[in-house]
Chains A and B, each alone.
Chain A
């Protein structure tokens, strides 16, 4: 496998002279259509809120103050650390993390299974994984709600099989949220892992087997390091969208507590109408994600692949 240092095959820098032209389209598109709007939002987070939506062009730190400092309900207590929003963030991160883990546990074997099918059927399998996503997420989530109800088909089936005496309450719990997130983003785990595993050279596993490594040791020591980029890509694609999701928390979890997504949504489309605060919460979320991604990218730059 390719390693760092002088042994690194020269193919890795084949396109060194074309870096600029190759990156130019993404720089342009994202630079204009994403960086400029986001920069605008970054500016908004430092402006004064206009009552019920909009901003007044007066510089202030009020949004960040609201996020981090607790001055009591009436704003005249001595400032303490505000735990409300930090705990909302923490809860969302925890939920998204569990959903990502769940996706990985089911997604990796599925991707592996697909990658070991004969070459001409693999495409079909990929489509089979993505076909359900032709139906709108909202509809799928509502159907899921129907399935998970106390009197729904799932509980009915479990009771009919004699596995349960009374219905299991899943709906309006955190478990329902995780199931919903898992269901919303499963292909985003399967496809990147598939793309990596498909490339895997099974001769390596055979070599390991010849050296008397058992299956699982081979998986851990030989396979995982090779397909790691796919797993990381899958985790990013599941984890980050899960952080901001609010359909599953609202429809399946009962919306009893804010998640990052619904908190920010409330600031723009809800009755609180506090754009600077919504922008500030988004900037804080972005910075967190960015830090994690850059740490990952940096470790990739150094460590052997």
Chain B
């Protein structure tokens, strides 16, 4: 047994002169050429392991994988949660020469003031898209999803994600996030139960496909995903609703007990080069938080309506991490919605 064990470890970790880097990343979220470019520049062997949700990543790190990876890419609220749990290492500005490339508005973010643990990866928004072949009417309000016109009723896909559905629902009703007010929560609960009658399906991964195939005529979706649906030929319009929308940012974090801390810092610094940040944006169709990327962006990405909201829209909000007592109420509403 022991020998077998030794053998497999030997096979799994071939020696590299400059060492290695273990990245815990979302599925399909970094272009391969960029990884190869980093490997060629530094001689570091990069291994990428993937997850499909912030919570899945947190669960597997908590179950024992912390210490196996150098960096991960959690969303804003998850950075806050991981930092509070002591799962993140911090770095100094001297260790990250390109820190100055971060757009000023993304430097002092609430989930990581002053950027001690994380750097921006990509940011985007969540609201909804409508197939304009099916429905030509007014779609400026979140009512399109929560109290839809007859043309769209029964043809709506919503994200299978508690956070996004409940926050957009709250925005629609004009109630604050993480409220403990009974009347407001009851109203949210009742509104969602009514809205569900108009929904065809819950699905995050299928959000783009159902719009392209025509299975759904409208759907909650991320802006980059909607851009891809449009690129695949669906006549969909992404809406920045008048009630507001959700803004999110994925961040590269330095994990606690990173086995290759030096290389992790090199990788993060590498991602802050405008050219490299632009490569990710061209691939994922969201927006980077790095200055000076414009010359490197594809025109289609640079000018996409999904990434360039019209002036005067209601600004988006970040998801807040509620405290435990409040979160319980939101969990109950979600369970109630899907029971």
Whether the complex brings A and B within 8 Å at their CB atoms is answered: yes
B51-63 interface bits toward A, Cβ cutoff 8 Å, 1 = contact, 0 = none: 0010110110010
Q: Determine if A274 is an interface residue (Cβ-Cβ < 8 Å).
A: yes
Assess the B58–A73 pair: CB atoms within 8 A.
no
B298-339 interface bits toward A, Cβ cutoff 8 Å, 1 = contact, 0 = none: 000000000000000000000000001001110111111011
| A274 and B331 contact, Cβ closer than 8 Å, known pairs A251-B206, A255-B160 | yes
| A149 and B339 contact, Cβ closer than 8 Å, known pairs A255-B160, A271-B162 | no
Assess the B201–A149 pair: CB atoms within 8 A.
no
Assess the A272–B339 pair: CB atoms within 8 A.
no
Chain A residues contacting B202 (CB-CB under 8 Å) are 254-256
| A258 and B338 contact, Cβ closer than 8 Å, known pairs A73-B186, A273-B59 | yes
Chain A residue total in the interface (Cβ 8 A): 29
Q: Determine if A205 is an interface residue (Cβ-Cβ < 8 Å).
A: no
CB within 8 Å of B: which A260-295 residues: 268-274
Assess the B186–A51 pair: CB atoms within 8 A.
no
A-B CB contacts (within 8 Å), total count? 79
Cross-interface CB contact of A51 among B53, B161, B185, B327, cutoff 8 Å = B327
Q: Determine if B222 is an interface residue (Cβ-Cβ < 8 Å).
A: no
Tell me if A's interface is mostly helix, strand, loop or mixed.
Answer: loop
Chain A residues contacting B62 (CB-CB under 8 Å) are 53-54
Q: Please report the C-alpha to C-alpha distance between residue A83 and residue B273 in the assembled complex, in whole angstroms.
A: 55
Q: Determine if A130 is an interface residue (Cβ-Cβ < 8 Å).
A: no
Q: Determine if A65 is an interface residue (Cβ-Cβ < 8 Å).
A: no
- Interface size bucket, B side? 35 or more
CB within 8 Å of A: which B165-215 residues: 182, 185-186, 189, 196, 199-203, 206, 213-215
Q: Which residue of B lies closest to A255 (CB)?
A: B202
Q: Determine if B163 is an interface residue (Cβ-Cβ < 8 Å).
A: yes
Assess the B53–A256 pair: CB atoms within 8 A.
no
Q: Determine if B81 is an interface residue (Cβ-Cβ < 8 Å).
A: yes
Assess the A88–B331 pair: CB atoms within 8 A.
no
Q: Please report the C-alpha to C-alpha distance between residue A272 and residue B337 in the assembled complex, in whole angstroms.
A: 14
Assess the B338–A256 pair: CB atoms within 8 A.
yes
Q: Which residue of B lies closest to A257 (CB)?
A: B338
Cross-interface CB contact of B335 among A84, A171, A273, cutoff 8 Å = A84
Q: Which residue of A lies closest to B157 (CB)?
A: A254
Chain B residues contacting A74 (CB-CB under 8 Å) are 182, 329
| A73 → B minimal CB distance (Å) | 6
Cross-interface CB contact of B55 among A88, A150, A256, A270, cutoff 8 Å = A270
Q: Please report the C-alpha to C-alpha distance between residue A53 and residue B214 in the assembled complex, in whole angstroms.
A: 37
Chain B residues contacting A174 (CB-CB under 8 Å) are none
Assess the B339–A53 pair: CB atoms within 8 A.
no
Assess the A257–B339 pair: CB atoms within 8 A.
yes
Assess the A272–B186 pair: CB atoms within 8 A.
no
Cross-interface CB contact of B200 among A172, A271, A273, cutoff 8 Å = A172
Chain B residues contacting A270 (CB-CB under 8 Å) are 53, 55, 162
Assess the A258–B206 pair: CB atoms within 8 A.
no
B217-242 interface bits toward A, Cβ cutoff 8 Å, 1 = contact, 0 = none: 00000000000000000000000000
Assess the A272–B331 pair: CB atoms within 8 A.
yes
Assess the A254–B331 pair: CB atoms within 8 A.
no
Q: Determine if A87 is an interface residue (Cβ-Cβ < 8 Å).
A: yes
Chain B residues contacting A54 (CB-CB under 8 Å) are 62
Q: Please report the C-alpha to C-alpha distance between residue A172 and residue B333 in the assembled complex, in whole angstroms.
A: 22
Cross-interface CB contact of B334 among A250, A256, A268, A272, cutoff 8 Å = A272
| A250 and B203 contact, Cβ closer than 8 Å, known pairs A73-B189, A258-B335 | yes
The contact sample of 22 A-B pairs, CB cut-off 8 A, is A51-B324, A52-B55, A53-B59, A73-B189, A73-B332, A73-B333, A75-B328, A84-B336, A172-B201, A251-B203, A255-B203, A256-B196, A256-B202, A258-B335, A268-B59, A269-B53, A269-B59, A270-B53, A270-B162, A273-B55, A273-B58, A273-B59
| Given A257-B339, A272-B331, 18 other A-B residues pairs in contact with their CB atoms under 8 A | A51-B324, A51-B327, A53-B58, A53-B62, A73-B329, A73-B332, A74-B182, A75-B328, A84-B336, A87-B339, A150-B215, A251-B203, A254-B203, A256-B196, A256-B202, A269-B53, A269-B59, A270-B53
9 smallest beta-carbon distances between A and B, as pairs: A254-B201, A255-B202, A269-B56, A271-B162, A84-B339, A51-B324, A54-B62, A258-B338, A272-B331
